[in-house]
């Protein structure tokens, strides 16, 4: 149920600093004005005022953004720290087709066009001296709050490094300082050696459920080449990324009788600085523990901060690998 705005509605868009955890919280009260799963109109279909005709993919400004290129001044508080919510939020409309269930229903060439478009957008955003991080992500499923069902993903151009990526940067830098090797390359090599958690391979990429998975069907996809940024991928690597993402998402969709909701997030280095110790990768969080049963980040996970895993990553990888091999042909 939506909140009803009063006549004295005041727009608030700002970053608020959490001094207890040392991280930014993005606050935007225009987000609750966005349309919620409309049945009679889709703003992303061809022919709307936003989309027009004659396109394969579109990257549009989000009408209800968390961040703004011209942010309003943040509030002033005696004790708490705030900052302008500078940045840009985009919607990536991945296809003109409205009635497909998932991006994995597209062919590899169509998925490649999506990644190619996102890569070009990143190259544009890197010119902005205030842009610190480029976060590309995809949410799938009403169960996790997707407001529009037309196939789409999102981009946040951020003025800070997301805290999860920051932790990866800190730990991989520490590992590199001690061993003079990439932490992520070593993880990829050990997963290739064991093989039991690998769910898919292509010429240039590998997908596996990590030894330390948090979510039931959490899949990490790595390029075999040590690369830091999406913008560093050549055409061949980008096409092969489309190929392995299609395989993995097809497996996640078909592993149970009901398609699984998931989140897919690109982890890469920040746009500014040198991070040769970091390794770009994709993380996919498949949310079902079993058919129709969501894994919730409940008391231990949300309140305590440490995840629990109700099965084993090895069992989940076996199930997903079999599904990919049987049901997910290119």
**Domains in the chain and their CATH numbers?**
13-327 (3.30.428.10)
| CA distances to 155, 197, 213, 269, 286 from 129, in Å | 18, 40, 35, 16, 35
| CA nearest to 158, candidates 62, 273, 271 | 271
Question: What is d(CA 176, CA 182) in angstroms, rounded to the nearest whole number?
Answer: 6
Per-residue pLDDT reduced to its tens digit, 243-265: 999 999 999 999 999 999 999 99
Confidence of residue 36 (pLDDT cuts 50, 70, 90): low
Percent of residues, the chain, with pLDDT higher than 90 = 84
Does residue 44 contact residue 51 with C-beta atoms inside 8 Å? yes
Query: Structure pTM?
Result: 0.95
Residues with Cβ within 8 Å of residue 110, at least 6 apart in sequence: 56, 94, 95
What is the C-alpha R_g of the chain? Answer: 20
CA angle 131, 78, 132 (to 5 degrees): 10
First to last CA, the chain: 41
Would you call 152 a catalytic residue per the annotation? yes
Question: What is d(CA 57, CA 117) in angstroms, rounded to the nearest whole number?
Answer: 8
Record the tokens describing residue 248, joined without a space. 């993995």
Q: Does the pLDDT of residue 46 top 80, yes or no?
A: yes
Q: What pLDDT is attached to residue 143? A: 87
Confidence of residue 1 (pLDDT cuts 50, 70, 90): very low
Q: Which of 150, 152, 220, 281 is catalytic?
A: 152
Q: Which one is predicted more confidently, 177 or 330?
A: 177
Does residue 51 contact residue 68 with C-beta atoms inside 8 Å? no
Mean pLDDT of 80-92: 97
Q: How many CB atoms neighbour CB 156 within 10 A?
A: 19
Record the tokens describing residue 2, joined without a space. 């939506």
Q: What pLDDT is attached to residue 7? A: 46
Mean pLDDT of 171-178: 98
Q: What pLDDT is attached to residue 308? A: 95
Q: Does the pLDDT of residue 4 top 70, yes or no?
A: no
Question: What is d(CA 320, CA 313) in angstroms, rounded to the nearest whole number?
Answer: 10
Per-residue pLDDT reduced to its tens digit, 102-159: 999 999 999 999 999 999 999 999 999 999 999 999 999 988 888 888 999 999 999 9
Per-residue pLDDT reduced to its tens digit, 277-328: 999 999 999 999 887 789 999 999 999 999 999 999 999 999 999 999 999 9
**Strands laid side by side in the 88-93 sheet:** 58-61, 88-93, 152-158, 133-140, 262-267, 281-286, 217-223, 205-208, 198-201
Kindly write down the DSSP assignment for every residue of 134-149, as one continuous string: EEEEEEE-GGGT-S--
* Ordered alpha helix ranges (H), 28-138: 108-125
Q: What pLDDT is attached to residue 282? A: 98
Q: What pLDDT is attached to residue 31? A: 73
Q: Which one is predicted more confidently, 275 or 70?
A: 275
Q: Does the pLDDT of residue 6 top 80, yes or no?
A: no
CA angle 68, 125, 173 (to 5 degrees): 105
Confidence of residue 30 (pLDDT cuts 50, 70, 90): confident
Mean pLDDT of 227-232: 98
């Amino acid at each position: 149920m939506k909140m009803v705005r009063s006549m004295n509605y005041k727009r608030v868009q700002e970053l608020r600093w959490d001094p207890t955890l040392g991280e930014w919280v993005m606050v935007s009260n225009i987000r609750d004005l966005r349309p919620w799963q409309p049945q009679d109109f889709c703003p992303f279909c061809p022919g709307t005022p936003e989309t027009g005709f004659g396109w394969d993919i579109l990257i549009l400004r989000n009408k209800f953004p968390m961040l703004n290129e011209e942010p309003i001044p943040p509030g002033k508080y005696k004790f708490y720290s705030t900052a302008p919510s500078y940045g840009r939020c985009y919607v990536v409309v991945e296809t003109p087709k409205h009635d497909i269930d998932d991006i994995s229903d597209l062919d590899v060439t169509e998925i490649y066009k999506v990644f190619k478009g996102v890569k070009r957008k990143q190259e544009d955003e890197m010119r902005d001296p205030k842009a610190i991080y480029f976060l590309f992500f995809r949410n799938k499923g009403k169960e996790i709050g997707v407001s529009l069902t037309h196939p789409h993903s999102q981009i946040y151009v951020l003025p800070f490094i997301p805290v999860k990526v920051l932790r990866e940067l800190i730990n991989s830098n520490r590992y590199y300082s001690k061993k003079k090797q990439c932490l992520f390359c070593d993880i990829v090599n050990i997963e290739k050696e064991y093989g039991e958690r690998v769910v898919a391979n292509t010429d240039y990429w590998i997908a596996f459920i990590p030894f330390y998975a948090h979510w039931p069907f959490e899949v990490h996809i790595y390029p075999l080449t040590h690369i830091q940024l999406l913008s560093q991928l050549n055409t061949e690597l980008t096409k092969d990324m489309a190929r392995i993402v299609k395989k993995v998402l097809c497996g996640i969709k078909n592993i149970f009788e009901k398609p699984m909701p998931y989140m897919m997030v690109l982890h890469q280095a920040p746009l500014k600085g040198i991070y040769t110790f970091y390794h770009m990768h994709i993380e996919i969080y498949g949310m079902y523990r079993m058919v129709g049963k969501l894994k919730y980040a409940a008391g231990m996970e949300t309140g305590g901060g440490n995840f629990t895993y109700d099965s084993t990553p090895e069992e989940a990888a076996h199930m997903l690998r079999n599904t990919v091999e049987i049901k997910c042909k290119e």
